[in-house]
Structure 1
Amino acid sequence: MRSLSPHAVRRALRPLAALGLLPALLLTACGSGTSAAKESAAVPAAAASTLKINTSPEQNRIRAEKAEEIAAKVPAAIRARGELVVGITGDGIPPLSFLADDDSTVIGVESDIAQLVADVLGLRLRLDRTSWENLFLAVKSGKDDVGFSNITVTEERKDIYDFATYRVDQVAWEVASDGRITKITQPSDIAGLKVAVGTGTNQEKILLEWDERNKNAGLAPIEIQYYQRPADYYLALKSGRIDAYFGPNPTSAYHAAVSGDTKIVGTVSGGGDSLQGLIAGMTQKGNGLVEPVSEALNTVIENGKYGEVLKRWGISNEALPASRVNPPGLPRPTKK
């Protein structure tokens, strides 16, 4: 089977879902590490028979009720506007944030979580589709109220932004399904390999740390390659130009399940060996929005709406028992 583009992935979902194969495949592939399990025991894994995949623009999102006490804590300017502007990247691959079959409507777990938060805060949801780089600028400047885009909490980012957590951060090693690599669990497993990773991501940081450890141990260095689009690194995997792709676990597991071209051979915490990474909604530092966002998340965690959303997209194993504001983040880069 050829490597699938994001649009082709969405088309491939339909026959798999109709045959009842996609849920079982997806949930089998979407494994998480031990550290994640400690953080995410609140919501049981979705049963294969209950997972339904809808890639149409008519999402019929799971909705929540307004909580007056929490809504009253939203900064006055946002309340007066009546809408929550959410920065989101819609050009990724399922199930986090991607485009529906109309190639314009942003769907996925991130927009669903954003909808729940907006509902609890009594605000209309407006998604501002942007690039990863511009997302941070938009939140910092106040153009966007909050970013929901698989953003990991780091100590460095906490200098500029506030965070309200809502998922554990797992990253996965994805390789060709017919390749020689069967597992990647430690730095020595990637010595001498050609590895693709997203620039400026936490998985890049982990990859560089593993490479440094290998070189200090006298092992062969890795060759890092960067691609702009998911279709590019999947084509590189298929053609053998790279040995592995290191990316977010949900997206890699989803692609592996649908395409059949790849498989997951290992997962690690987005924090590497030092700390369990956490995914969070990101707000402008000190503007007073992060607390009501976190309270809104805790409201939907407690009433089960949050669990329904994660179950809908097959990532219940990344659930958190509670949202926290500005928890310990991934450590700052080591100064040499």
Structure 2
Amino acid sequence: MATLPRAVRHAHRRVAALGLLALLATACGQGSATGGDAPAAAPVNASDAAATAPLKINTSPEQNRVRADKAEDVAAKVPEAIRARGELIVGITGDGTPPLSFLADDDSTVIGVESDIAQLVADVLGLKLRLDRTSWENLFLAVKSGKDDVGFSNITVTEERKDIYDFATYRVDQLAWEVAKDGKVTKIAQPSDIAGLKVSVGSGTNQEKILLDWDEQNKKAGLAPIEVQYYQRPADYYLALKSGRIDAYFGPNPTSAYHAAVSGDTKIVGTLSGAGESLQGLIAAMTQKGNGLVQPVSEALNTVIKNGKYAEVLKRWGLSNEAIPTSQVNPPGLPRQRK
């Protein structure tokens, strides 16, 4: 996705300074946790947010990130070529999707929960963090080719991706249904709830796969099909929501919750695991398949989970409810797409 227009980003920051980001702790879907991951938590809605303590977000280039100490035993497991270089090159989008990855007030420094967790991993591995800002599509190519050591960009583990990449998990994956605040849709919890709706979703995403699967289920049940609309920029689908050209947007819960909180124009009417209804989706750091980096990355994540630095970062960005108790290497992912 393209970067949000500067005026929109700055509007988000002004509202964030007023402490309206408490809603970001929403979250958890209907799928059961797998492999020891945290069970799904009850979603937080807009009315609940008003009762919680305000959360202020620092959007300046001087982030004063949470830092961690080097763990010699874990750092020793990093592939020699990366250790010799002394840098961990992290592919990241910085594409204007707060609180995940977006630009600071200087319009050039990438900030957000993704870069903060990447910093913790680099610290534990004894490496200097170098962020390589790129597009979503090029991120996968950069990691596959070895140009980037690891990708941190809200990447969901899928069985198909595991054929090409290795994964070390660090958050649960939640999706959200966002609608106009005064729109006709009040709840989306099952496939029949979207029958006949106009829905926007990101092309090539896991949520698109889930959306199309729900639509197929509806059509087999004799229900009206959905109309899918694709937009390149967040500003475009939010304008479509506001104008009534679409009934709902289906995307990552953190960004939708953030937008609902700061804009006042939309609301969340349902959440779902990023892997669908039967499996808790997981967000992970992505490395080149078989290059030996994924295990130390996972151990670095478990180090900061254990010492509390990980929890500090999630709390900083309002995402404590997306925490996992243990980082896993290549856990069960989103099922393969049926052909």
Within 5 Å, give how 1:260-275 maps onto structure 2: 260-275=264-279
Q: Does the Cα contact within 8 Å between 2:90 and 2:152 map onto a contact in 1?
A: yes
* Aligned counterpart, 2:11: 12
**AA at the equivalent of 1:303:** N
Return the alpha-carbon distance in structure 2 between the equivalents of residues 48 and 147 of structure 1: 33
Q: Does the Cα contact within 8 Å between 1:36 and 1:168 map onto a contact in 2?
A: no
Within 5 Å, give how 1:51-200 maps onto structure 2: 51-200=55-204
* Aligned counterpart, 2:253: 249
* Aligned counterpart, 2:232: 228
Give the C-alpha shift of residue 263 in structure 1: 0.5
How many residues of Structure 1 are paired with residues of Structure 2 in the alignment?
328
**AA at the equivalent of 2:314:** L
TM-score of the superposed pair, with normalisation by structure 1: 0.93
3-state secondary structure, aligned to 1:150: coil
Give the C-alpha shift of residue 31 in structure 1: 3.0
Within 5 Å, give how 1:296-307 maps onto structure 2: 296-307=300-311
| 1:175-226 alpha-carbon deviations (Å, 9 max, x no partner) | 0111111110011111111100001110000000000000000011001111
Return the alpha-carbon distance in structure 2 between the equivalents of residues 31 and 100 of structure 1: 25
Give the C-alpha shift of residue 92 in structure 1: 3.0
Return the alpha-carbon distance in structure 1 between the equivalents of residues 33 and 290 of structure 2: 32
Return the alpha-carbon distance in structure 2 between the equivalents of residues 259 and 277 of structure 1: 27
Return the alpha-carbon distance in structure 1 between the equivalents of residues 52 and 74 of structure 2: 35
TM-score of the superposed pair, with normalisation by structure 2: 0.92
Return the alpha-carbon distance in structure 2 between the equivalents of residues 305 and 324 of structure 1: 18
* Aligned counterpart, 2:214: 210
Give the 3 Å change call, closer, same or farther, for CA 87–36 of structure 1 in structure 2.
Answer: farther
Return the alpha-carbon distance in structure 1 between the equivalents of residues 5 and 170 of structure 2: 25
Give the 3 Å change call, closer, same or farther, for CA 332–183 of structure 1 in structure 2.
Answer: same
| 1:268-327 alpha-carbon deviations (Å, 9 max, x no partner) | 011112211110000000000000000000000000000011111111101000000001
2:325 corresponds to 1:325: no
| 1:243-282 alpha-carbon deviations (Å, 9 max, x no partner) | 1000000000001000111100000011112211110000
Q: Which sections of structure 1, spanning at least 5 residues, go unmatched?
A: none
Q: Does the Cα contact within 8 Å between 1:168 and 1:318 map onto a contact in 2?
A: yes
* Aligned counterpart, 2:297: 293
Give the C-alpha shift of residue 11 in structure 1: 2.2
Q: Does the Cα contact within 8 Å between 2:33 and 2:40 map onto a contact in 1?
A: no
**AA at the equivalent of 2:288:** Q
CA RMSD of the aligned region, Å?
2.1
3-state secondary structure, aligned to 1:169: strand
**AA at the equivalent of 2:28:** S
Q: Which sections of structure 2, spanning at least 5 residues, go unmatched?
A: none
Return the alpha-carbon distance in structure 2 between the equivalents of residues 288 and 226 of structure 1: 38
**AA at the equivalent of 1:311:** K
**AA at the equivalent of 2:20:** L
**AA at the equivalent of 1:161:** Y
Give the 3 Å change call, closer, same or farther, for CA 131–49 of structure 1 in structure 2.
Answer: same
**AA at the equivalent of 1:88:** I
Return the alpha-carbon distance in structure 2 between the equivalents of residues 230 and 17 of structure 1: 18
**AA at the equivalent of 2:101:** S
Return the alpha-carbon distance in structure 2 between the equivalents of residues 80 and 248 of structure 1: 37
Give the C-alpha shift of residue 23 in structure 1: 3.7
| 1:113-140 alpha-carbon deviations (Å, 9 max, x no partner) | 0000000000000000111110000000
2:280 corresponds to 1:276: yes
